[in-house]
Amino acid sequence: MDSYESVILVKPEVFVFNIPPRASNRSYRAADWNLAEPSWTGRMRLVSQADQCAIKLEDKNTGELFAKCPIENYPGVAIEAVSDSSRYFVLRIQDDNGRAAFIGIGFGDRSDSFDLNVALQDHFKWLKKEKQISEEPSGPALDLGFKEGETIKINMKISKKDGNEGSSRTKQRPTGGTTGFLPPPPGGTRLPAPPGSSPAGSPAHAVKTPTGGNDWGDFASAQANSSLTNQPSPSNSNWVQF
């Protein structure tokens, strides 16, 4: 599966120069080029795809590819800075058949060349780090499962206060909708008869005097005296006793 091409850097204007072959091992010098008359002007894109990186010189309007410079590492032979200026570089371009040639490129602003230098360094540092991570041996996976016979214990702290409050609330709650008073006995409530009253079926004159001193004593004595006064004398035989 082909990976996507990502754009690392874009510069809208770059100048291309034809450079003379290098006669010795000394570095390239931009002063040896015809800087006043560049051979081509276009835009530059620095792109990456998987672990490959390349500089593409394209037409500003149509985007047609003018030259391509594959870069395997930086610094390296694919792109080399000149010795007398920070705005110019030498590129080794290649076509689809593998043929290579060297051209010079330059920027009108010094910050553009600085951005290209930093972007190349960051990209290859990232590739190196990714390679180191992939080559590191992975450690054994952690086994977080329970072994045979292992158990887990959970301590749940419940305060004594909370338990007492719950039980007291249960005790205070009335059951059955009552108010806490006992119900009356079956058959209604019967109050005791007052002292001195005669039970049903006994003679009216038989009054029982309560024992001990109470408020009913005077009333019982008066009733007894009244009944004795109203009785007829035994000498009068015309009275019939009932």
133: enclosing H helix or E strand? helix 110-135
- What is the tens place of the pLDDT at every residue in 57-81? 999 999 999 999 999 999 899 999 9
In this structure, are residues 11 and 122 in contact, taking their beta carbons and an 8 Å threshold? no
Q: Is the pLDDT assigned to residue 94 strictly greater than 90?
A: yes
pLDDT value of residue 149: 77
Mean pLDDT of 145-154: 78
Question: Residue 190 corresponds to which tokens in the numbers above?
Answer: 């019967």
Give residue 171's pLDDT band: very low, low, confident or very high (50, 70, 90). Answer: low
Q: 226 vs 53, which has greater pLDDT?
A: 53
Question: How far lies 201's CA from each of 156, 197, 198, 220, in Å?
Answer: 78, 12, 8, 19
Which strands sit side by side in the sheet containing 52-58, from one edge to the other?
A: 65-71, 52-58, 40-49, 6-17, 100-106, 88-94, 79-81
Cβ-defined contacts of 107-115 (< 8 Å, 24+): 107/11, 107/13, 107/14, 107/15, 108/13, 108/15, 110/86, 112/11, 112/14, 112/87, 113/86, 113/87, 113/88, 113/89, 114/86, 115/9, 115/11
Q: Is the pLDDT assigned to residue 51 strictly greater than 90?
A: no
Give residue 238's pLDDT band: very low, low, confident or very high (50, 70, 90). Answer: low
pLDDT value of residue 24: 76
In this structure, are residues 50 and 57 in contact, taking their beta carbons and an 8 Å threshold? no
Closest by Cα among 42, 53, 48, 39 to 11: 42
Q: For the structural domain made of 6-133, what CATH number should be given?
A: 2.30.29.30
Q: Is the pLDDT assigned to residue 229 strictly greater than 70?
A: no
Which positions ≥6 away from 234 have C-beta within 8 Å? none
- What is the tens place of the pLDDT at every residue in 21-36? 887 788 899 999 999 9
The values of phi and psi at residue 48, to 5°, are -140, 150
Q: 2 vs 112, which has greater pLDDT?
A: 112
pLDDT value of residue 21: 84
Q: What mean pLDDT is reported for the chain?
A: 77
